[in-house]
């Protein structure tokens, strides 16, 4: 039986694609209660996300643009949930 890699679903925005790549690489996760994206502050996961962006950018986007979007999204995400009282979720 031929095994193929699972394809990522079609994206609507470049930011949405970047969030998916960051989550797949383990660089971000979601607050279980409120749904906010939180930075895991894992340098290895960030490097994996950038490698994914370089190797498999979305159709019509250059690798440099994909990497820039990954970095922009990471810069916009904090490590705490803004809705959790202690920032602990």
- Terminal C-alpha separation, the chain: 43
pLDDT given for residue 84 in this prediction: 84
Tens-place pLDDT, residues 51-84: 999 999 999 999 999 999 999 999 999 888 888 8
Structural tokens at position 82: 């803004």
DSSP annotation of 73 reads H
Angstrom CA distances, 19 to 2, 4, 13, 32, 79, stand at 30, 23, 10, 16, 15
What's the pTM value of the predicted model, to 2 decimals?
0.80
Angstrom CA distances, 24 to 21, 33, 84, 86, stand at 5, 20, 24, 27
Tens-place pLDDT, residues 5-64: 555 555 689 999 999 999 999 999 988 888 888 999 999 999 999 999 999 999 999 999
């Amino acid at each position: 039986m031929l095994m193929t890699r699972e394809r990522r679903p079609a994206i609507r925005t470049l930011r949405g694609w970047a969030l998916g790549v960051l989550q797949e690489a383990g660089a971000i996760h979601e607050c279980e209660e409120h749904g906010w994206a939180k930075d895991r502050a894992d340098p290895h996961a960030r490097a994996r996300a950038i490698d994914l962006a370089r190797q498999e950018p979305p159709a019509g986007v250059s690798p440099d643009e994909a990497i820039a979007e990954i970095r922009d999204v990471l810069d916009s995400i904090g490590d705490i949930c803004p809705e959790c009282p202690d920032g602990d979720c």
